[in-house]
């Protein structure tokens, strides 16, 4: 699993969303496999330096997306998830989001070569 989400306190993105994004990335790229048991909410919160409700919210959102099995008094466990069919709107949304992120990174001084290298690295990681 990718070590940890980037600097939770240094981002305008809410901490729960950063945790969701970090775990979803680990799930999508196969770093967390079905059957994997995640740390308890309190342990993850302690490790990340956030309130336990922040982690609980992130776990619930991922459970709602079909990634986790949550049971009262049990650890969160990664489950097999059926990938939904994406419609045309999803492809358009992806293109818009990618262009927006690219513009943001360029506006903040990230060199085009770095963006290109990162996109190529992600493309290589994708599994078909």
As a whole number of angstroms, the distance between CA 26 and CA 28 comes to 6
Supply the DSSP symbol for 73.
Answer: T
pTM: 0.76
As a whole number of angstroms, the distance between CA 23 and CA 76 comes to 12
Q: How confident is the model at residue 2 (pLDDT cuts 50, 70, 90)?
A: low
- Residue with the two structure tokens 């919210």: 57
Residue 36 neighbours by CB under 8 Å, 6+ apart: 77, 78
pLDDT of amino acid 78: 96
pLDDT of amino acid 68: 97
pLDDT of amino acid 75: 87
Query: Is the pLDDT assigned to residue 122 strictly greater than 90?
Result: no
As a whole number of angstroms, the distance between CA 67 and CA 22 comes to 13
Query: Is the pLDDT assigned to residue 43 strictly greater than 60?
Result: yes
pLDDT of amino acid 4: 63
Query: Is the pLDDT assigned to residue 82 strictly greater than 80?
Result: yes
């Amino acid at each position: 699993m990718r070590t940890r989400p980037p600097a939770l306190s240094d981002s305008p993105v809410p901490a729960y969303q950063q945790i969701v994004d970090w775990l979803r990335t680990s799930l999508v790229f196969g770093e967390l496999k079905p059957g994997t048991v995640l740390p308890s909410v309190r342990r993850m919160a302690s490790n990340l330096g956030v309130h336990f409700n922040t982690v609980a919210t992130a776990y619930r959102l991922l459970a709602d997306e079909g990634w986790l099995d949550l049971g009262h008094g049990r650890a969160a466990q990664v489950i097999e998830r059926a990938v939904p069919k994406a419609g045309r709107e999803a492809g358009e949304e992806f293109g818009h989001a990618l262009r927006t992120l690219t513009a943001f990174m360029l506006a903040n001084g990230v060199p085009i070569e770095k963006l290109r290298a990162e996109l190529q690295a992600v493309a290589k990681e994708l599994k078909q």
